Amino acid sequence: MILKMNNKPDIFSVAKAAGVSPSTVSRAFNHPDLVKPNTRKKIDRVVRRLGYIRNRAAQTIHGIRSGTIGLIVPTIDHAIFAEVVQAFSEAVAENGFTILLATHGYDLQQEYSVLRKLLEHRVDGVALIGTEHRQETYELLEQQGIPAIIIWNYDESAPLPCVGANNIEAGKLIAQHLVDSGHRKIALIFPPLSGNDRAADRYAGVKQVLEASGIEVSPHWSVESPYSVSAAKSAILPVLDNPNRPTAVLCGNDILAWGVINCARSLDLDVPSSLSVLGIGHFKAFQDMEPSLTTVRLPAHRIGSMAGTTMSQAITQPEEAVTHTFCPSELVIGKTLMPLEG
């Protein structure tokens, strides 16, 4: 039997059909561990048969208003955030939550507007990427008194609890490895740094190491490109299609590195014998590339998983303090770097 739209089943009809009390039905949803397995199965069969959907908007259970968590990321147009989003989603699902995913296109004013929309949907918590946000965004979260965390960047001075890696240290790690390999003629390709504290921190770490080593990067060898393989290929072309070219290109992430490698191949430059290429990220989508990339692993899955658990606990256990969580990065030795003698 298919029920008409104007006769939607409620918790009382489910309870009656299952032969239990409405409170038992509610408990089966909210505290299944307190309901006998056979009773849960009976309730589940009725719920499926009747097509019952519980009304989250009418609930307030341990601070849970909607069972949803807002996750705002700069973009889903490439693989950088895919792994962290997936791990975050899986972790909150284990605690009974669903994510509402939104993007702002690296526009922090747009991020504020997106946040307002998520709050209108009565999300139970909000997760933001990175520490760079407009002051009005932080103020809105504080005014609403809603649990909120920062993902991806670790910063002890952050205004919200954060779960992530130290991108300055990641930049230092890859730059030091390059310098220790004997390279001095180095080009850089990074995404636009405005509104992107992850890239800005990596760039700062790289520059610190290069300056400490007495290496000055020519302005013509410091290239900017959006997160795109094709755009990176085009951006680095004038640098590589020149007799006086660098011996190595250090890239702000693996996507840009792959674009540089494609450009080198189009010019018949072998990687790494003619050109060394290094990235930052070690994202899942690029781990099988050939040649294997020398890069820094940012533990995206671990960050997403730990952030999801932290976010869930901040909602369900508001009396417990939420602290910063550091996820260390590590150097990954691939085949795109050739050491230079002397």
184-206, pLDDT tens digit by residue?
A: 999 999 999 988 899 999 999 99
CATH code for 68-165+300-328?
Answer: 3.40.50.2300
Residue 120, SS3? Answer: helix
- Residue 85: which of 64, 104, 106, 70 has the closest Cα? 70
Domain spanning 167-297: which CATH class is it, in words? alpha beta
- Are 235 and 224 in contact by the 8 Å Cβ rule? The answer is yes
d(CA 94, CA 86): 13
Residue ranges per structural domain of the chain? 5-54, 68-165+300-328, 167-297
Decide whether 68-165+300-328 matches 167-297 in CATH topology: yes
CB 274 within 8 Å of CB 264: yes
pTM: 0.78
**Widest Cα–Cα separation across the chain:** 83
Find tokens 């069969």 and name the residue. 45
CATH number of 5-54: 1.10.260.40
- In this prediction, residue 57 carries a pLDDT of 55
The structure tokens listed for 239 are: 């640098």
Residue segments in the chain with a per-residue pLDDT below the cut of 50: 1-5, 61-62
φ, ψ at 190 (rounded to 5°): -130, 155
- What confidence tens digit (pLDDT) does each residue in 117-161 have? 999 888 999 999 999 999 999 999 999 889 999 999 998 899 999
Contact 14, 44 (CB under 8 A): no
